[in-house]
Structure 1
Amino acid sequence: MAPTLYDEKPEVGDLIEIFRGSYQHWAVYVGDGFIVHLAPPSEHPDAGASSMMSVLTEKAMVKKEELWDVVGTNRWIINNSLDEEYKPRPAHVIVRETSALVGSELPFCVFRGNCEHFANEIRYGKAESRQVRKAGEVVMAAGLAAAVGIGIVALAGALFGGSRKEKNTQ
């Protein structure tokens, strides 16, 4: 099981992944129990399905809030999984940058600029979303499976169901 606040305390710059049911919300821990995150208007712990409507918004706010106020009763973990791929920026740079951004309204796009993109940009200097990448892979796999299925049906039709010339017995 992944660590929680009861097992492990986050350090400045750690990424916090909050499980909201059908998606994850991401934030950056900035110390003293606070996180900074990119939050569409509908993003809050008890939003439930209405939080999914955040995909329709074009702007979101950079907020500094207490970790537990954002987490609510949801499960969360420290998730710095991209550390193997990218070098984290120094903690003082993360704090300086997040402080400068708090209160800003930024463009929001679930595919190109969501809360995970924001958090990874702050920690690594790379705006990336594994959530979006995984969703894209699922869509691509489903599309490929459908295309293969159609191809097999077409091939079977060509091999076994093609037109047969009837013998003309005159």
Structure 2
Amino acid sequence: MAPTLFDHDAKPGDLIEIHRETYEHWAIYIGGNEVVHLIPPTNTREGLGALGELFTLFDSSRAQVRRQKIWEVVNSSRFEINNHLDDKYQPREPHVIVREACQMVDRELMYNVVTHNCEHFVTELRYGKSESRQVQTAAVIGGVAAAGVAIAVLGAALFSGLRKDDRERRNHK
């Protein structure tokens, strides 16, 4: 049988990272080509494409836990198995991860893009620790950008001061 787009080596309890246009969506593989994931309401910004999807993420305070076939969630996006915190935390037993994920299906949970998003949800299931490297990376990038702006402002102020001093020296000669 020829490989298909959805052939994968995922094992129950693995984290699936789905690369959307503007963000990464996360799900947990439970076997049988199914995943469990946390997703805010959809189509609230219909017609805006990826930007509308991003607005929905920032605008939502509640999300639903869903169990779906992997290809329904992935659609045409690229995805990979990414157990990115295995070097930091010991993964829980796969049967425990799957059992707890399945018990959460159809529940409505609090959602916050910074403190409790889909990545927090799946890392809590896999490791017993809620963490989002996506949020941490965004915070670092935001901090670097803010530092860059501060340096630019400081540089402009220093340059302006030097020019003023230079003009004053020329006027006093």
Three-state SS of the structure 1 residue aligned to 2:25 is: strand
Give the CA deviation at 1:164: 2.3
Give the CA deviation at 1:111: 0.4
Instruction: State the alpha-carbon separation in 2 of the partners of residues 154 and 54 from structure 1.
Output: 38
1:1-170 to structure 2, matched below 5 A, reads: 5-6=6-7, 8-42=8-42, 48-49=49-50, 50-52=52-54, 53-162=56-165, 164=168, 166-167=171-172
Unaligned stretches of 5+ in structure 1?
none
Unaligned stretches of 5+ in structure 2?
none
Instruction: State the alpha-carbon separation in 2 of the partners of residues 61 and 167 from structure 1.
Output: 72
Compared CA separation, residues 167 and 69, structure 1 to 2 (3 A): closer
Instruction: State the alpha-carbon separation in 2 of the partners of residues 167 and 155 from structure 1.
Output: 21
Aligned partner of 1:116: which letter? E
- CA deviation digits over 1:81-105, x for unaligned, max 9? 1111111111111012112211110
Query: When the two structures are aligned, how many residues end up with a matched partner?
Result: 162
Three-state SS of the structure 2 residue aligned to 1:22 is: coil
If the length of structure 2 is used for normalisation, what is the TM-score? 0.86
Moved more, 50-59 or 140-149: 50-59
Aligned-residue identity in percent = 40
Q: Is the 8 A contact 2:6 2:71 kept in 1?
A: no
C-alpha RMSD over aligned residues: 2.1
If the length of structure 1 is used for normalisation, what is the TM-score? 0.87
Instruction: State the alpha-carbon separation in 2 of the partners of residues 35 and 110 from structure 1.
Output: 20
Instruction: State the alpha-carbon separation in 2 of the partners of residues 123 and 141 from structure 1.
Output: 31
